Amino acid sequence: MGRDIPLGRIAGIKVGMNVSVLIIAGLNAWILADNNFPILVPGLTPTDYWVAGVVGALAFFASLLVHEVGHALVARQEGIGVRGISLWLLGGVARLESSPRTPGAEFRIAVVGPLASAACGVALLSAAYVAPDTGRWDLAGTAAAWLGTLNLVLAAFNLLPAAPLDGGTVLSALIWWRTGNQSAGKLWAARSGVVVGLAMAWWGLQHMGGNESGGYGIWVLAVGGFIAMNAWQAMRAAPLFTALEGVRVIDAMYASPPIARAGDTVADFLRSLPRDTHHQYYPVVGDHGRVNGLLTADAIRAVPSTHWSSLRTVELAYPLDRLTVVSPDEPLLSAVQRMDSGDVRTALVVDPHGRTVGTIDPRALQDAVTARANT
């Protein structure tokens, strides 16, 4: 979800969407205007159907947004910063800056999304119920009924107790609450996610052909595959999660990385780099000592060496807004979760005085796990 199209802010929270949303909205509008609405409410003009189709398709994404804003607002109430909300092909995601510290907070943040969808569903179905049964009003009521039903279905689907769905997080929080063991909660939600995802993908495969359910089969296959893959990753991460409980960022980070100055060329920087350094990530620091990006050894290697003397470090670096910034005293696990939700799986460790004191990447995590296993 790297390149979001910005849509503005809701309650101060950045909202963006992936270009895939436009494709799905267009497809939805077309199916509604060309097929569903003319059958359900005959006798109106194509313009009427298209207006209703486009408004209905856009309102669908607006209702997904209501769901995600629900997550984001409750997270903020629980003292957790929100990086932003992204809409994409299979729905939306509210990216949080850290993970909840208590099972209660985790439960509340997760459950509010489906509740918001259910509330949208009930409101839209009520509107459909009171709309007059004639002409364009009938069409508007039909569109509202379609969207209301879809929201209720989404609420129920999201409550399935399977990671990464909201219901999976609810299950995980409940196990955490009952047993005091956060890892166990995550592991069971992930296992359940693999089973539910594979079952959905199987069903989708069986229903790919044929006219009556052909359109839905491929959709269920895609969503099921996505759930199974996500849950599989979460299951594989579970031992890491157990191993890292109680470890802080400062215990695992690569300390004192070589600093690249923003104004220098890549060639200048490489000349200043100690020959025997084991660091692969280099914070880029501007004039006032403020960090504004991260240069990686991989990025340098990807550019022909003939360009090194004309390219500035800051031009080649990942900009700050695509990086995760963590503090040295933060639990390593919450840092890892924030890194996973970011674009680049590397974090800058910045102390309370704004100084960059280290970097963390998957290799550093692996080292921390090994160190833990050996003590």
Please give the residue ranges that form the binding site for Zn ion (CB under 5 A).
Answer: 113, 166
SS (H, E, C) 29-81: HHHHHHHHHHHHCCCCCHHHHHHHHHHHHHHHHHHHHHHHHHHHHHHHHCCCC
The residue count for the chain: 375
Phi/psi of residue 212, nearest 5 degrees: -70, -35
Cβ-based neighbours of 137, under 8 Å, separated by 6 or more: 131
Q: How far is the CB of 94 from Zn ion (least distance, A)?
A: 7
Q: How far is the CB of 192 from Zn ion (least distance, A)?
A: 16
Nearer Cβ to Zn ion, position 84 or 257?
A: 84
Residue from 109, 19, 120 nearest 66 by CA:
120
The token duo for 151 is 């929201």
- Sheet with 254-255, strands from edge to edge, namely 254-255, 356-360, 347-350, 324-326
Nearer Cβ to Zn ion, position 106 or 166?
A: 166
Nearer Cβ to Zn ion, position 113 or 358?
A: 113
Would you say the C-alpha torsion 234, 247, 182, 71 has a positive or negative sign? negative
Q: Which residue is nearest to Zn ion (CB)?
A: 113
Q: How far is the CB of 158 from Zn ion (least distance, A)?
A: 5
User: Would you call 68 a catalytic residue per the annotation?
Assistant: yes
Q: How far is the CB of 66 from Zn ion (least distance, A)?
A: 11
Q: How far is the CB of 63 from Zn ion (least distance, A)?
A: 12
In this structure, are residues 58 and 21 in contact, taking their beta carbons and an 8 Å threshold?
Answer: no
Nearer Cβ to Zn ion, position 128 or 155?
A: 155
Q: Calculate helix-pair angle for 103-130, 46-77, nearest 10 degrees.
A: 150
Nearer Cβ to Zn ion, position 96 or 243?
A: 96
Q: 68, 78, 106, 212: which one is catalytic?
A: 68
Catalytic center residues: 68
